[in-house]
Amino acid sequence: MSKTTTDNPIALFKVWLAEAVDSEPNDPTAMTLATADKNGVPSARMILLKDVDEKGFSFYTNSESQKGSELDANGAAALVFHWKSLRRQVTIAGNVVRVKDSEADDYFATRPRGSQIGAWASDQSRPLEARFELEKRVARYAAKFGTGIVPRPSHWTGYRVMPRKIEFWRDKPFRLHERIAYEVSETGGWKKGHLYP
């Protein structure tokens, strides 16, 4: 088991994620994404992490969906990873930016063809009268693109949460849990501290 000793929370997160990949039965990259609209009304949903590096935590979605609209309007978000098999969680908060178009293009090209077609067919988060309407749209876009390359829709892109705070939580007996908190300092590095459970 990893120890919480590093001064770099991104490096520690990668260690914990690798251990989750080995132990979690389903979707170790699943995370809760919490956003808020321009009035501060919150919403949350489960999505999948696609990349993490020193720049932040990246995921992809329809920018016209509820989460995309809220990310563009508010510019801040929080993430939560919960790995039940390890009895751990990580919470992250920070500002959000869109990834470069070239990054979105590269990732979109790796998606299964059905998912690429789905990105065109789904008016994500908007009312759907009947499932058949979605199926018709999928068929229409599948016919449109035939066997050729499916380009990335302009409304489908990636977002990166650039963390300002990261907390690592580990279960301990008698609810005396370990909580290690990192926060970006005024000089741009990381300040590390402990929190009461």
The Cα–Cα gap between 43 and 53 comes to 26
Q: What is the model's pLDDT at position 6?
A: 82
Residue 58 lies in a domain: yes
- C-alpha dihedral, 148 to 154 to 156 to 158, nearest 10°: 110
Residue 138 lies in a domain: no
Position 21 pLDDT exceeds 60: yes
- Angle of helix 131-145 relative to helix 113-121, nearest 10 degrees? 120
The Cα–Cα gap between 165 and 78 comes to 9
Residue 139 lies in a domain: no
Kindly report the pTM of this predicted structure: 0.92
**pLDDT tens digits, one per residue of 62-72:** 999 999 999 99
More confident residue, 6 or 29: 29
11-39 mean pLDDT: 96
Position 4 pLDDT exceeds 60: no
Q: b or e along 94-132 (b: 16 or more beta carbons within 10 Å of the residue's beta carbon)?
A: bebbebeeebbeebbeebeeeebbbbbbbebeeeeeeee
Q: Which long-range contacts (CB under 8 A, 24 or more apart) does 41-45 make?
A: 43/67, 43/70
158-182 mean pLDDT: 97
More confident residue, 187 or 33: 33
What's the CATH code of the domain at 31?
2.30.110.10
92-107 mean pLDDT: 97
- 125 pLDDT tier (thresholds 50, 70, 90): confident
Residue 124 lies in a domain: no
The Cα–Cα gap between 81 and 153 comes to 29
Widest Cα–Cα separation across the chain: 60
39-45 mean pLDDT: 96
- Catalytic residue positions? 175
Residue 168 lies in a domain: yes
Position 3 pLDDT exceeds 90: no
Position 76 pLDDT exceeds 50: yes
Share of the chain above pLDDT 70, in %: 97
Domain residues for 89? 9-110+155-194
The Cα–Cα gap between 128 and 121 comes to 12
Q: What is the model's pLDDT at position 102?
A: 97
Q: What is the model's pLDDT at position 1?
A: 44
Residue 74 lies in a domain: yes
Cα–Cα distance list, 113 to 116, 120, 131, 139 (Å): 5, 11, 20, 13
Could you tell me which of 165, 194, 157 has the C-alpha nearest to residue 182? 165
Q: What is the model's pLDDT at position 126?
A: 87
String of DSSP letters for 42-62 = EEEEEEE--EEETTEEEEEEE
Q: Which residues partner with 97 through β-bridges? A: 160
How many separate domains does the chain show? Answer: 1
Position 50 pLDDT exceeds 60: yes
